[in-house]
Amino acid sequence: MPNNQILMIYTGGTIGMQKDLQTGSLVPFDFSQLMEHIPELQLMDKKIDTVSFDQPIDSSNVRPEHWLMLADIIEKNYDNYDGFVVLHGSDTMAYTASALSFMLENLSKPVILTGSQLPIGDLRTDAKENIITSVQIAGSYDNNQPLVPEVGIYFEFKLLRGNRTIKASSEHFNAFDSPNYLPLAQSGVDLKFFKERILPVPDGIFNVHKKLEENVVVVKIHPAITETYLSHIINLPGLKAIILETYGSGNAPTDDWFISLLKKAVDQKSIHIINITQCQKGSIAPEKYETGRKLMSIGAYNGKDLTTEAALTKMMYLLGKNLSKKAIKSAFERALRGEMT
């Protein structure tokens, strides 16, 4: 039964900064004093505990090891809290949210990532509303069931599915977008949840997957791509998978050298090739044009409408499970956490 306890995890980022009045520079503040910065949290019927990374980091420095740290904190505290709020820099938030969505199997409690474009101590900060509503979402239950039993990103009045999200703006408060999936909740005068869009509470036992394969690269197809460049990529020591960001509906060059190199990667090196679109919105349809059918013929996986962040982290997660190539392809091409249509 929910007891209105929320754990807030601070990793770093703009949201945890305040201005030094003497120097004017931004410095981190002590998150144990959170209530002093956001006294409105005391009006909520929630008990909020805070924990911080020993060394808060700029999100540009986030690595898979930090995803593991977050997953470990959530795992160790899973039975003691109703929900989790992760304060995170915005630059790599979509990667972290995507990774956590796959790592946290049978998640039945809200894990809400949020941040801000302006520091919490700034007069015009967006941090306060983002934190307050994230806490409210993390503690939202109905008949002892969480309203959002999944990993989400809350920013500027919208709750988005974490593994459907991209950072769309570096200068607007509305920094994130979910191009191929509608918001899970909308904040206005009321906080409205769209239950038909939210994943159901899973039946299985909560389990954290902590092995991720990092030998995965993202290659964006462009008109000036060369045989030498692609050959170097394919011959990287230990490479396990290539996420190909292709044109439009999954199209790529049909030059003999291009197809030959990829076929060699698949047949001789057992490298997984994943086809996703570099367009922000839409899905690939590789059977539509010859250029897409060529990739299908060499065994490229259909990434459908996956974001780059979700495709990368999903492949890292699947490769970490030591599955057969056939099993990886089967799992990759179907939705595991609501990440694809």
Residue with tokens 């590789």: 286
Cβ atoms within 10 Å of 190's Cβ, excluding its own: 7
pTM: 0.93
Looking at the domain 216-332, which fold is it? Rossmann fold (3.40.50)
Query: Any catalytic annotation for residue 226?
Result: no
**Which CATH number is associated with domain 5-208?**
3.40.50.1170
Please tell me which residue in 11, 14, 96, 313 is annotated as part of the active site. Answer: 14
CB burial string 266-286: b at 16+ within 10 A, e below: beeeebbbbbbbeeeeebbeb
pLDDT at 58 (0 to 100): 84
Looking at residue 28, its pLDDT comes to 66
pLDDT over 70 at 34, yes or no: no
Domain with CATH 3.40.50.40 in the chain: 216-332
Tell me the pLDDT tens digit for each residue of 86-133: 999 889 999 999 999 999 999 999 999 998 877 776 767 788 889 999
**Average pLDDT over the chain, rounded to an integer:** 91
Q: Which residue spans of the chain are classified as CATH 3.40.50.1170?
A: 5-208
Write the pLDDT tens digit of every residue in 244-282: 999 999 999 999 999 999 999 999 999 999 999 999 999
Query: How much is the average pLDDT of 18-33?
Result: 69
pLDDT at 287 over 90: no
